[in-house]
A = this chain, B = another copy of it.
Amino acid sequence: MQVRVQEAGFDLGAESDAFAAGVAGSGAIVTFTGVVRDADAGGLVAMEIEHYPAMTEKALEAIAIEAKARWSLEDALVIHRYGRLAPGERIMMVATAARHRKDAFEAAEFLMDYLKSRAPFWKKEILTDGGADWVAAKPEDEDALTRW
């Protein structure tokens, strides 16, 4: 199980290959990648991601350990960035490997649902008009946790 919190970008292809190479016993590998997309209203200059360093890795590890306890996973990976990101840059990824696809899919969705609402990151959209907005948590993101 690997958890990385970093300011630097990551290489999706290289991370996918490295993860897949390490899970020879798995028939199913799922990855999720989150990308900075333009603000809903348009005109995004950057996304600033703040986090709580003393808590972040601890929270991510707790989420990943929970996923491994609940699904039959050979491995799981979480990478999450912080700092200033331009539109199109990758924010984070998760990867899961299991014998069967159901476990790999469910665990990846579980990781994402928990990262959204239980990992101490906060996103601020910096807009072309000079404004800036903290991204509000969505009620449906909190609701998504109830299914697990």
- Chain A interface residues (CB < 8 Å from chain B): 11-17, 20, 24-38, 87-88, 90, 99, 101, 104-105, 108-109, 112
Contact = CB atoms under 8 A, between A and B. Distances in A.
Given A13-B13, A13-B15, A31-B33, 12 more contacts: A11-B17, A16-B16, A24-B88, A26-B35, A28-B33, A29-B31, A29-B33, A30-B30, A30-B31, A34-B101, A105-B109, A105-B112
A17 B38 CA distance: 20
Which of A16, A17, A112 counts the most chain B CB atoms within 10 A?
A16
A100 to B, nearest CB: 10
16 contacts: A11-B17, A13-B13, A13-B14, A13-B15, A13-B16, A24-B87, A25-B38, A27-B35, A28-B33, A29-B33, A29-B35, A31-B33, A32-B101, A105-B105, A105-B108, A105-B112
A32 B35 contact: no
Contact of A37 (B26, B30, B34): B26
A17 B13 CA distance: 5
